[in-house]
Amino acid sequence: MDDFKSPLAELVNSPLDRLDTSSRQVDRLLPTTGQPDLALGEVVQLVEAIARHLRPAEPLQHLKELQLAATEGWLLSSSEVEGLVGCKPRVQKGEQQFTRGSFCFVRSGKIGNQSAWKVVKVN
């Protein structure tokens, strides 16, 4: 058995290990990429940090933005409406408006190559 080296001993003594002198810990680098080998806990922390930034700051933020657009009389492009309400604005043939939740969107010309929509608060 002394003739066989432990795979762990080979990894620890490999040239891909790097000593972090500030923390006195060894950072293991993956042999295929040369990137640090992260522990599972570190990966979970990284994913949680990314998820916090992807979540909207406030769940009702889109409604506040629609209310502001309605109050100010702003025209929104189709892509802006889609980003705020979660679906493309579609109207039935012969109609000029569509309603989603508490807001009505009235087709009001064009913004570039997209339809322009006036936002009206439904009471």
The per-residue pLDDT for 11 is 47
pTM strictly above 0.95: no
Please check whether residue 87 is in contact with residue 77, taking contact to mean a CB–CB distance below 8 angstroms.
no
Please check whether residue 81 is in contact with residue 117, taking contact to mean a CB–CB distance below 8 angstroms.
yes
Please check whether residue 36 is in contact with residue 27, taking contact to mean a CB–CB distance below 8 angstroms.
yes
DSSP assignment of 79-91, as one string? HHHHHHHSS----
Asked if the model's pLDDT at residue 3 lies above 50, the reply is yes
pLDDT digits (tens, 9 = 90+) for 21-71: 555 555 555 566 666 666 777 888 888 888 877 766 688 989 999 999 999
